[in-house]
Amino acid sequence: MMIGYVAESDLTAYAAARGITLARPPAETLQQALDYLELQEYSGEKTDESQVLEFPRNGSTAIPAKIEQAQLVAAVIYDSGQDPMGPIGRRVTQETVVGAVSVSYSDSGPLVALYPQLTALLRPYLAGVGGTQFRVVRG
C-alpha cells in the first residue's frame, strides 16, 4: 500500500538491504515520515494547487528519487524510536559518580537531533537553503 511517496514494501526492502530489522509496522512509520516531509518548506510551487502532497512541484509530474528516499530514511529514524522533529535536550558533557550521581550539562550545541543523511536528501528542495530565496509574481 502506498503511503505518501513510497509503498510499505519499499520500506521493507530498504531496511532489509541495510540489515535493519523493523520494530514497528511500516504503515505507521511511513505515515510519521510523511508528516515530517510535508511540514518542510520547499522551494517552488506545487504542480497542481489542488494536489494533497507537496510533490510533484514546478510543473513536473515526477516525484524526485531523493524525496522518496528521504521518506524511507525518516521512517527508519522513527522506527528506531527517534523523532527528526523532536528536541534532544541538553547534552551531557560530564558524569561523576561519587555516592550520588552528579551530572554537568553543556549549554552549547543543538537542542534538536541532527540527521545528516536526511538533511542531505532534502537540501536541494528546501526553501531558503544556500541563499536567500523569495517568491516572484508576474503582474
Look at phi and psi of residue 35 and say left if phi exceeds 0, alpha if psi is from -120 to 50, else beta: alpha
Give strand pairing partners of 104: 94
Q: What percent of the chain has pLDDT over 70?
A: 73
Give a yes or no: residue 66 inside a domain. yes
Q: Angle at the Cα of 35 (from 76 to 91), degrees rounded to 5?
A: 60
Give a yes or no: residue 130 inside a domain. no
Give a yes or no: residue 134 inside a domain. no
Mind listing the pLDDT tens digit for each residue in 34-71?
999 999 999 999 999 999 999 999 999 999 999 999 99
Q: What percent of the chain has pLDDT over 90?
A: 68
Range of 12's domain? Answer: 2-125
Neighbours of 124 (CB within 10 A): 13
Count of structural domains, the chain: 1
Read off the pTM.
Answer: 0.78
Give a yes or no: residue 139 inside a domain. no
Kind of pairing between the strands at 6-7 and 91-98: unpaired
The mean pLDDT of 75-88, rounded to a whole number, is 89
Give a yes or no: residue 135 inside a domain. no
